[in-house]
Structure 1
Amino acid sequence: MEAAPSGWLDERPPASGWRPVQVPSNWNAHWPGHDGVVWYRLRWNIAGAPQTLGLYMHYVMSAGAISVNGVELDRDESLVEPLSRAWNRPRFLLLPAPLLHAGRNELLIRVSGYAAYQPALGKVEIGPPGPLRAAQRASELARKDLNWLHLGIGATLGCFFLALWLMRRQEAAYGWYAARQAAWVGFTVNFVNTSTWPLAHTHAYAAATTAAYVLYHGCGAMFVLRFMGRRWPRREAVLWLLICVACAAVLLAPHEHMKTVRHTLAWASSALVVATALVFLHLAWRGGSLAQRLLSAAMAANALAMVHDLLVFSALIHGNFYLASYTAWPTTIGMALTLAWTFVANTRRIERFNDEMHHSVAAARAELKASLARQHALELLHARLGERVNLAHDLHDGLGGMLIGNINTLERTRAPLPPQQVLDMMRTMRDDLRLIIDTASAQHHGELSLADLLAPLRYRMSQLFELHGIEAHWRVSSLDKVQLDATQSLDVLRVLQEALTNVFKHSRATRVDVTLVREEGGHLRLEVHDNGVGLESSAAGAPPPPGGTGLRSMQTRAQRLGARLAVDSRGSSTTVALHMPLQGLRGSS
């Protein structure tokens, strides 16, 4: 073929300046630094009547128009900025017989491009339409369709693992894989896009594509480290500092230095790819799993393919065929399958752990249930024994003491006792027994309040005082909400009963005042005041004297209630006072 340069806006080929070239042809070999248009011309002869032929052009870098015998057959959308990006589209045109001439024919190709971006015309073939059409379809499958497939697979897998990473932030490998795929999508669009959109100029588009390529390899290196469970903070910081500098350089580089910057970054990125593959191989084969070893081998093969593509990009290998279309998407799928395999293995391990925990919890629950059942049975037994012990104590302290006292009285008295005295002794024992029965009927917490339990005792004692000619005055207040358990209620009533019994037995009083109130401070106050003869040798506020059995019994019950008992005897009156806190007592409110 022949070729001649011209300006951007020239619509006709130049009249001079033509020189012979071989295709594929990169015009930097003939016109270094030329930006604009180069015209390519092929003339050939047809002997005899023309037959319909096929025209197969491997590529045009980066936009062009095709004419045969002065008739334009194909033209890209834009031959000036923003340039069409037709470099990866193999073309097949049908040359009908009427278009061709017997004798000399001319093919004219107008190519628009930049010296920084490998301006070139690929191989051109003219011959029978069938074989050339088949060759063009095979080339389009490799150059375009496979890239669309890879683009779709990469975007889908990137979104999938991005969603996984957002749900499990601790899985950093998923996040770096998603970032790697996002950068790869930005770079792979370069292979299928036919315009510079969304950017307005070829230079900006090339800079963005190069930056995406650098980021892709940086994210790939981070993915390998995280996938292998490694963290190298200082080296990673240096790596990303260099990546940021590289991206800034390519985005800010002026047009005249763009070729140098892009080639430098291409070599540096390839060096990073090879280093990443070697590190991956070393870590995986030294102590990694089978999946990691297989993936490291796949990435090593992909690194070799990228080295080949770098040589094509740098024109050290002539042509426009890149292996990445074949090797990149299997590697991407392999990485995704390996991540999925790892995710499934971790999930199964978690499920096994959950099953083991479920069985352990079920066994522990059964053991706890049996233990609680045993404890409940013991508590019931202890409660029954406790109730029996309490009942025995009550019978011993009350009815038992009275029986012993009455027996002693009967044994020491030589003369027959008056019937009234015997009747009083029997009534006293009856009243004590009824007190035990009344409190025992309130076994369950909250069944009867203290006021309900007090009513029978108050009735019986009032009748007893009336029988002995003693005026009884009762002041009972705010007891409806005082609910104690049976033992506590019995202790309070025992103290009251003992104090009242002492009044009509020993005091020779004519009046008794009984106060039982719930005070605002959360205390229960019990006072029994009489106008009798008083107690011997008892100071105001002093504890009960040790000589009295009844008073010692009251003191014991007060200690059990956590209360303070005071006996004040001044001259001809006696006051027995019990102050008991209600807070913290079971059954109180």
Structure 2
Amino acid sequence: MIELKDSEYRSNLIKHAIIACFIWFASFIGVSSSVFASAPQHSGAAECQAKIQRIETAQSNPNQEMQGPAQGWVTLEKLPDQWEKRWPDYHSKAWYKIIFSYSCQNPAQNSPLALAIESITQTGQVFINNDLLWQDISTEEPIARNAVTPHLWNIPASSLHQGENVLWVQVQGSLTQKSGLGQVLIGDYASIYQAYSKWIFEKKTLPYLNAMLNLVIAIICFLVWGIARSDSAFLWFALVSIAWVLYSTLVVYSDPLPYLNSTDVDRLQNIIFCFYVVAGCLGAWRFARKSFPKIEKILYAFAFCGAAAIALAPDAYINQTMQVFFGIAVLIFLAKCLTYPYIAYKSKITETYFMSVTYLVFIPIAINDAIFMTTLQGQPLSPYTAPFSSMSIGIILAFRLARDSREIAAFNKTLNENIIRAKSELTESLGVQHKLALENALLQERIHLSHDLHDGLGGSIVRSIITLERNEQINKPQVLSILKMLRSDLRQVIDTGSSLSAKVPDTPIEWAAPIRHRFVQLFEEIEILSQWSFEPSWEKLPTALQCLTLTRVAEEALTNILKHSQASKVSVSLTQTGNHELLMRIHDNGAGFDPQTVDAGLHVGLQSMRARISRLGGTFDIASQFGSTSIQVSLPLAPKHKASAEA
């Protein structure tokens, strides 16, 4: 894999973003040029001419639908016209009478004229002289909406005559829109078609292109949010784009909508615009990783209150209600655009700087379009922002991708350094643990050796001391016998301590033979009667460690009897129970002692015996009183996991 430096990576991203922008701009220019270059040419266009002489308008007379009223006509200086100021609160039908002159150089070869109307508020009819030229597909609710739908017709020569002609246009007013008639052009087809194409491009092509690009942006933002759920800014951007798609579609869609009259459509359109503005603020703030809880609650309240007010307002007040909330929404949008540079400065995020520039560009566009929607004077600019918006989103995503890539690279570098450091620390820790384990093993070995010396060799020394005390005259052979016995016990301690895999005696009798041989002679010398009881064979063979442990326990117990008990009788037995346990009992009739002193650690030998048995998972019980002391040891022939692990 080839690794690029950070500056090289950033320059490549910027280069790709510029290329993408150029492609978008080129495609946009291509669409524009193809629309305006498609006007057909007519060779006879200049042979016949038409010129508008006078424009008049009047409110419709319900009894004269096919002609204008007889009186009440008002002369207009020019089109487009809005009758809101002239006829306040009038939302019914109105007639426009456009008188134009028509002349042809060669009357025998009259050429048809082209008629183009920029917009009709909702629905209507068009007559040339008294001939019906066009009637909308629906003149009753739900009716069509032609405010942004230009129309183009060819006027047949048979409907025209030399001199004065009358164009009648009936317009259905709107409760929520500014009612009136747009520009009207009459002339040769080539020139009229050129103006008509410009209207179509501005009012239909660009909004639909805008909607399609915003739909693509919404899909991209949804995908980005789906991959990185923590970045909620892209979810809000997706909702903003979806809201704009719905809003712009309702604006440009002219056919009747099922179950919705024209007022309902305008209500829905304004509700969507309120949510669009609020979602835009939240998305911009989340993109800068900022939140303003109090302001956001106010925005939520505005959106839901606006939706409820617009949806429920009576028809008599719907126009004023929509104007109020639309004006507030525009002010919120402008406030967001004006304040975002400061938010971007505070966030210190590169892509927010570019977004703040984008919002500043939108400020004059928003003001211009708000004025246009209020006065219908000038030209809307928002349809031209689609390529700019898509390019902006592409560049912003490129910046975000570059920043995330740098953060990932820095994280990977830090992670690798931490892994190397952790490996070093782990190696060092393992070394320390290994050293401690060795020291612990050595210490355990010393403890085991001390127990073996105490229980094995210690018992032999005690027996030797007792022998010397009982015999006032010791000859050389007796001394040598004692020393040889000590040497044998010492070698046994060393051998059993160095190898736990020593041979197990064939029978319990063979196991007990060395112990019995050592202690019977001493017991007889001090007049202690001993009784030994062992089974003839093993039902289940014990381990060498179990045999050694029982030997050490027996030696320690019998040595204690010799030293402290003053007993006259001793019994030793080794049996195997039905539960596959080795059971050893040692009993004497001596003076006894307090067993609680063993738990307190005052009897080192007995404490050592208990520790040995516990390591093998067995039990060690003592019952003692004057005249009777019993020690009972139980070892499982199938050692528990814990016992084997401790051993």
Q: TM-score range by the shorter chain?
A: 0.7 to 0.9
Paired letter, 2:104: A
Paired letter, 1:413: I
Determine which of 65, 68, 75 is the counterpart of 1:20. Answer: 75
Structure 2: how far apart are the matches of 1:339 and 1:428? Answer: 90
How much does 1:177 deviate?
A: 2.7
**Aligned positions of 1:226-245 closer than 5 A:** 226-245=286-305
Which residue number in structure 1 is paired with residue 381 of structure 2? 323
How much does 1:34 deviate?
A: 2.5
Which residue number in structure 2 is paired with residue 45 of structure 1? 102
Which residue number in structure 2 is paired with residue 547 of structure 1? none
Tell me if the contact between 2:213 and 2:386 (Cα under 8 Å) persists in the aligned partners: no
Q: Write the deviation string for residues 21-67 of structure 1: whole angstroms up to 9, x where unpaired.
A: 32112233443333232233333221333224332322222223334
**Aligned positions of 1:432-451 closer than 5 A:** 437=495, 441-442=499-500
CA RMSD of aligned residues (A): 4.7
Q: Write the deviation string for residues 344-379 of structure 1: whole angstroms up to 9, x where unpaired.
A: 524541452244123312431243135315533653
Determine which of 179, 184, 188 is the counterpart of 2:239. Answer: 179
Structure 1: how far apart are the matches of 2:578 and 2:63? Answer: 109
Which residue number in structure 2 is paired with residue 157 of structure 1? 217
Change (3 A) 1:503 1:234: closer
Q: Write the deviation string for residues 377-410 of structure 1: whole angstroms up to 9, x where unpaired.
A: 6534653675477457635753587489769979
Which residue number in structure 2 is paired with residue 548 of structure 1? none
Paired letter, 1:301: V
Paired letter, 1:356: T
Paired letter, 1:398: G
Which residue number in structure 2 is paired with residue 414 of structure 1? 475
TM-score by length of 1: 0.78
Report whether the alignment pairs 1:188 with 2:248: yes
What SS is found at the alignment partner of 2:67?
A: coil
Tell me if the contact between 2:119 and 2:148 (Cα under 8 Å) persists in the aligned partners: yes
Which residue number in structure 2 is paired with residue 357 of structure 1? 415
Paired letter, 2:381: L
Change (3 A) 1:542 1:190: closer
Structure 1: how far apart are the matches of 2:475 and 2:69? Answer: 166
Determine which of 30, 34, 44 is the counterpart of 2:90. Answer: 34
How much does 1:201 deviate?
A: 0.7
Change (3 A) 1:152 1:474: farther
Report whether the alignment pairs 1:277 with 2:333: no
Structure 2: how far apart are the matches of 1:458 and 1:298? Answer: 101
**Aligned positions of 1:116-515 closer than 5 A:** 116-162=176-222, 164-165=224-225, 170-285=230-345, 288-315=348-375, 318=377, 321-327=379-385, 330-331=388-389, 334-335=392-393, 337-338=395-396, 341-342=399-400, 345-346=403-404, 348-373=406-431, 375-376=433-434, 379-380=437-438, 383=441, 386-387=444-445, 390-391=448-449, 394=452, 398-399=456-457, 402=460, 413-414=474-475, 416-417=477-478, 437=495, 441-442=499-500, 459-462=510-513, 465=516, 472-474=532-534, 490-499=548-557, 512-514=572-574
Tell me if the contact between 1:211 and 1:250 (Cα under 8 Å) persists in the aligned partners: yes
Report whether the alignment pairs 1:528 with 2:583: no
How much does 1:143 deviate?
A: 1.5
Structure 2: how far apart are the matches of 1:251 and 1:552? Answer: 94
Which residue number in structure 1 is paired with residue 630 of structure 2? 575
Paired letter, 1:461: A
Change (3 A) 1:583 1:388: closer
How much does 1:339 deviate?
A: 5.6
Tell me if the contact between 1:46 and 1:103 (Cα under 8 Å) persists in the aligned partners: yes
Structure with more relative contact order (C-alpha pairs < 8 Å, separation 6 or more): 2
Q: Write the deviation string for residues 529-584 of structure 1: whole angstroms up to 9, x where unpaired.
A: 25xxx54x54575869xxxxxx864444436767867474765x763445899997
Structure 2: how far apart are the matches of 1:281 and 1:126? Answer: 49
What SS is found at the alignment partner of 1:145?
A: helix
Change (3 A) 1:368 1:322: same
What SS is found at the alignment partner of 1:111?
A: strand
Structure 2: how far apart are the matches of 1:52 and 1:454? Answer: 130
Determine which of 37, 49, 56 is the counterpart of 1:2. Answer: 56
Structure 1: how far apart are the matches of 2:280 and 2:386? Answer: 12
Structure 2: how far apart are the matches of 1:166 and 1:7? Answer: 59
What SS is found at the alignment partner of 1:178?
A: helix
Structure 2: how far apart are the matches of 1:79 and 1:196? Answer: 10
Which residue number in structure 2 is paired with residue 109 of structure 1? 169
Bigger mean CA deviation after superposition, 89-98 or 183-192: 89-98
Structure 2: how far apart are the matches of 1:479 and 1:138? Answer: 110
How much does 1:113 deviate?
A: 2.5
How much does 1:148 deviate?
A: 1.3
Q: How many residues align?
A: 562
Change (3 A) 1:115 1:371: closer
What SS is found at the alignment partner of 1:117?
A: coil
Q: Write the deviation string for residues 145-200 of structure 1: whole angstroms up to 9, x where unpaired.
A: 22112212223333443455466554343343333333323321222212342542
Report whether the alignment pairs 1:558 with 2:610: yes
Q: Write the deviation string for residues 462-511 of structure 1: whole angstroms up to 9, x where unpaired.
A: 5875996965324899997999x95x985554112343578899977585
Gaps of 5+ in 1: 545-550
Change (3 A) 1:271 1:166: same
Change (3 A) 1:57 1:516: same
Report whether the alignment pairs 1:78 with 2:133: no
Structure 1: how far apart are the matches of 2:345 and 2:570? Answer: 108
Query: What is the percent sequence identity of the aligned residues?
Result: 23
Structure 1: how far apart are the matches of 2:561 and 2:586? Answer: 9
Paired letter, 2:95: W
Structure 2: how far apart are the matches of 1:277 and 1:71? Answer: 53
What SS is found at the alignment partner of 1:60?
A: coil
